[in-house]
Structure 1
Amino acid sequence: MHLQHSPEVWAEYPELVAGALFVTGITADVSAESRIAAYTAIAESRLADGPETGFPEIQAWRRVFSRMGLKPTQYRCASEALLRRFRKEGVLPRIHPLIDLCNAISLAFAIPVAAIDLSRVSKGLDVRHADGDEVYQTFSGETEHPDAGEVIFTDAAGRAHARRWTNRQSGYSAVRDTTATVLIVTEAMHDTASADVPELVAAVTGELGRVWGSTPQSAVLSRSTPRFEFPA
């Protein structure tokens, strides 16, 4: 299997830095609460100095969304949406230990982190502009078709696993209690992304080892190294 961004995406967004981790052995019967607390404390500290809209990581994604023709206050990248909810409510709902941990790390770094159940993915994932006939399933089970030209995560079966790039994942491949094999993807656009994304990948790697005893296969992607290959 693979993860890769299309040449067109790299040409339009050369500032992109992406990280990816392939991991097996994920289960739901673990506790990650102490690790979640450590990362949410970092987010709390950052938010104490001002709202997430002032973070360079968030501002960079807002500029990208504007370039994609999307209103940034209507369609937010996943990390901004999480930070906004956390700032208002002081806590995030618990879903699954892996999702909860990835959300906490996303809060701390202010960078989107997606976890995708690979048993629901056909052959691999391409981040590219949509043709418009791909199939996307919402978390409520409804079917949508991405707009032509929209940046999506799609597989060989024509299924979209994320819409509007880092805005919304698909319910079809969301991590659930039966999930065992996962692809974790993080993407950033800000000036220090080339340093921050490897640091985030290292943080996720460490937590996967601490909580699940797993050693992931990982990569940091750029225009010169755009493809990450991992076992089917």
Structure 2
Amino acid sequence: MYFQHSGEIWAEYPELVAGAVFATGITGEASAGPRIAEFGAVAGARLAAGPESEFPEIQAWRRAFSRMGLKPTQYRCAAESLLRRFKKERVLPRIHPLIDLCNAVSLAFAIPVGVFDATRIAGSLEVRHASGEESYLTFSGETENPEAREVIFADAAGRAHARRWTNRQSGYSAVRDTTTTVLIIAEAMHGSAAADVRELTSVLADELNGIWRAVPESAVLSRSSPRFEFSTSTS
């Protein structure tokens, strides 16, 4: 299996940097609370110094959404949505220890982080423009068809695992209590994205090892090295 961005996406967004982490041995019984609190404290300190709308990471995604023809204050990247909720409520709801951890890391770095049940991905996962024929399953169980040219995470079966790029994931590949094998993707476009995504990817790999004793595979992707290959055969 592999994850990649299409050549067209790299051509349109050459500033993009992506991090990918693949791991097995995940359970829903792990305790990640202390680490989640530490990452939340980092985000809280940064929010105390200024609003998330002024973060360069968020501004870069707002520009990208505008280039996609989307109103950036209507459709926000996942990191901005999390930061806005965290600023208001000072805590995020607990869903699953891995999702909670990834959300906390996303808050601390102000970078969108998506986590997928890798066994629900057919063959490959590619960030590309939609044809308009792909299917997307919402968390409420409804099926949608992304608009043509919308940026989606698509697998080889024509299933969209995220819509509007980093705006909304699908319920189909969402991590659940039975999930053991995951693919985690982080993406950024701001000036220091190369260094920040590399650090974020390393942090996630270390956390997976420390909390779940997993031995993750990871990579930082760029236009010159766009593909991350991994195998679920040992899961």
Smaller-chain TM-score bracket? over 0.9
Structure 1 equivalent of residue 170 of structure 2: 170
How far, CA to CA, are the matches of 1:229 and 1:43 in structure 2?
32
How far, CA to CA, are the matches of 1:206 and 1:219 in structure 2?
13
User: Equivalent residues in 2 for 1:29-178 (5 A)?
Assistant: 29-178=29-178
Q: Give the letter for the 1:40 counterpart.
A: G
Q: In the TM superposition, what is the alpha-carbon distance from 1:51 to its structure 2 partner?
A: 1.1
Deviations 1:196-220 (A, max 9, x none): 0000001101100110001100000
User: Equivalent residues in 2 for 1:221-232 (5 A)?
Assistant: 221-232=221-232
Deviations 1:37-81 (A, max 9, x none): 010000000000111001000000000000000000000000000
Asked if residue 198 in structure 1 is aligned to residue 187 in structure 2, the reply is no
Q: In the TM superposition, what is the alpha-carbon distance from 1:26 to its structure 2 partner?
A: 0.2
Q: Which runs of 4+ in 1 moved over 6 A?
A: none
How far, CA to CA, are the matches of 2:55 and 2:182 in structure 1?
29
TM normalised by structure 1 equals: 0.99
Deviations 1:144-192 (A, max 9, x none): 0001001100001100000000000000100000000000000000000
How far, CA to CA, are the matches of 1:137 and 1:54 in structure 2?
33
Q: Give the letter for the 1:27 counterpart.
A: T
Structure 2 unmatched runs, 5+: none
SS for the counterpart of 2:49 is: coil
Q: Give the letter for the 1:96 counterpart.
A: H
How far, CA to CA, are the matches of 1:94 and 1:103 in structure 2?
10
SS for the counterpart of 1:43 is: helix
* Number of equivalences: 232
How far, CA to CA, are the matches of 2:148 and 2:193 in structure 1?
28
Q: In the TM superposition, what is the alpha-carbon distance from 1:119 to its structure 2 partner?
A: 1.2
Asked if residue 5 in structure 1 is aligned to residue 5 in structure 2, the reply is yes
Q: In the TM superposition, what is the alpha-carbon distance from 1:124 to its structure 2 partner?
A: 1.2
How far, CA to CA, are the matches of 1:54 and 1:127 in structure 2?
27
Structure 1 unmatched runs, 5+: none
How far, CA to CA, are the matches of 2:88 and 2:36 in structure 1?
18
SS for the counterpart of 2:225 is: coil
Q: Give the letter for the 1:16 counterpart.
A: L
Q: In the TM superposition, what is the alpha-carbon distance from 1:14 to its structure 2 partner?
A: 0.1
SS for the counterpart of 1:10 is: helix
Structure 1 equivalent of residue 179 of structure 2: 179
How far, CA to CA, are the matches of 1:141 and 1:75 in structure 2?
21
How far, CA to CA, are the matches of 1:157 and 1:214 in structure 2?
29
TM normalised by structure 2 equals: 0.98
Deviations 1:112-135 (A, max 9, x none): 000000111101101100000000
State percent identity of aligned pairs. Answer: 71
Q: Note the aligned Cα RMSD (angstroms).
A: 0.5
Q: In the TM superposition, what is the alpha-carbon distance from 1:136 to its structure 2 partner?
A: 0.2
